[in-house]
């Protein structure tokens, strides 16, 4: 399952009141805390690309400084989130143990604040080294042998966190037969609420040119057909392309998360997204690293069809 960073104390646990068992996290309203979590608010991050040491920069960006800034903002956010998600490419390039050691230090304030953290796998991550670096978070009972998955249940919708990593530092992503079969069963078992599905890689409907690698999800068509077969799947959330964008595919929303780290095209925003689930939709609020960016604080409302 993805990495779960729980509260560090009983008081923090009571403030968050979340339960994680065999890949399932149930989020409940907090009690007994001065700032209880809003069970319908989530902090959603992607593409942090945290390197081995804080001095390493890429594309004119210090990735360690960016993740530290975002963590501070999430901890201080007026609406205390029920959980924090990092949607893959947590590590810089090779998924080194030292990358994850730096990441662990950067995200420590989330744990100290009692905020559960769930991390999915991107193409620059390495499952084994991630869990070697944070051994206390290694799943005791993996849901799948080949992929790390979990379900985060909340009052108004359920999040299904997937693993699209095929091989570290190989751009191609894949959901795979085993994970699709698990997802089909998991969605059927939770058809009473809207479903939000999240994985790192972008959808890619057309095969690449001869000699080129798949840059997105290799089994996009099979995966999207599966999601479309479950009418309660309302959104697919992904990262990988370092582009902030929302669009639709039929009744389903597609949400491309901005990177916390660097952008590939000048002028695009990097940052994180506040996701607030309402009765019949999802409200997104872009929180740019640069508060002077024209899209900072942009609000997008997605209505469930």
Does 31 have pLDDT greater than 50? no
Burial class (CB in 10 A: 0-12, 13-18, 19+), 184: middle
Neighbours of 248 (CB within 10 A): 11
Q: Determine the Cα–Cα distance for residues 74 and 37; give it in Å rounded to an integer.
A: 12
pLDDT in tens, 151-164: 999 999 999 999 99
> What kind and span of H or E run contains 71?
helix 63-76
| Residue 214, phi then psi, degrees to nearest 5 | -65, 125
The mean pLDDT of 24-42, rounded to a whole number, is: 70
CA 167 to centroid of chain Cα atoms: 19
pLDDT of residue 115: 94
Give the burial string for 157-172 (b: 16+ CB within 10 Å, else e).
Answer: bbbbbbbbbbebeeeb
Does 34 have pLDDT greater than 70? no
How high is the mean pLDDT of the chain? 90
pTM: 0.91
Candidate from 21-35, 117-131, 280-294 with smallest mean pLDDT: 21-35
Q: Are 260 and 271 in contact (CB under 8 A)?
A: yes
Q: How far is CA 193 from CA 154, 248, 254, 297, in A?
A: 9, 20, 18, 28
pLDDT of residue 22: 53
Q: Greater confidence, 248 or 7? A: 248
Alpha helices in 95-206 (DSSP H): 97-112, 127-133, 177-189
Q: Are 98 and 132 in contact (CB under 8 A)?
A: no
pLDDT of residue 146: 86
Q: Are 67 and 50 in contact (CB under 8 A)?
A: yes
Q: Calculate the dihedral angle through the C-alpha atoms of 94, 213, 127, 174, rounding to the nearest 10 degrees.
A: 160
Does 295 have pLDDT greater than 60? yes
Does 10 have pLDDT greater than 70? no
| Domain regions of the chain by residue span | 3-303
Domain 3-303 sits in CATH 3.60.21.10 = yes
pLDDT of residue 297: 98
pLDDT of residue 30: 44
Does 243 have pLDDT greater than 70? yes
């Amino acid at each position: 399952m993805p990495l779960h960073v729980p509260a560090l104390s009983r008081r923090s646990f009571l403030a968050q009141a979340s339960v994680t068992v065999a890949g399932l996290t149930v989020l409940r309203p907090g009690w007994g805390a001065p700032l209880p979590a809003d069970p319908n608010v989530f902090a959603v991050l992607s593409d942090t690309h945290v390197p081995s040491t804080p001095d390493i920069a890429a594309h004119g960006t210090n990735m360690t400084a960016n993740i530290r800034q975002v963590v501070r903002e999430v901890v201080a956010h007026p609406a205390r989130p029920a959980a924090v998600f990092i949607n893959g490419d947590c590590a810089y390039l090779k998924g080194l143990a030292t990358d994850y050691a730096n990441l662990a230090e950067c995200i420590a304030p989330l744990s100290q604040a009692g905020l559960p953290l769930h991390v999915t796998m991107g193409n620059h991550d390495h499952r084994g080294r991630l869990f070697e670096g944070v051994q206390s978070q290694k799943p005791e009972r993996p849901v799948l042998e080949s992929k790390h998955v979990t379900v985060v249940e909340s009052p108004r919708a359920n999040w299904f966190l997937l693993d699209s990593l095929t091989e570290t530092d190989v751009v191609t992503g894949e959901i795979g037969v085993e994970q699709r079969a698990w997802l089909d069963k998991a969605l059927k078992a939770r058809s009473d609420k809207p479903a939000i599905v999240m994985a790192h890689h972008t959808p890619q409907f057309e095969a690449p040119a001869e000699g080129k690698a798949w840059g997105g999800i290799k089994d996009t068509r099979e995966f999207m057909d599966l999601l479309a077969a479950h009418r309660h799947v309302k959104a697919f959330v992904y990262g990988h392309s370092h582009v902030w964008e929302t669009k639709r595919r039929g009744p389903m929303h597609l949400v491309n998360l901005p990177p916390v780290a660097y952008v590939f095209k000048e002028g695009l925003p990097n940052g994180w997204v506040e996701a607030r689930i309402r009765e019949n939709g999802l409200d997104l609020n872009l929180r740019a690293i640069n508060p002077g960016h024209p899209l900072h604080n942009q609000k997008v409302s997605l209505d469930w069809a």
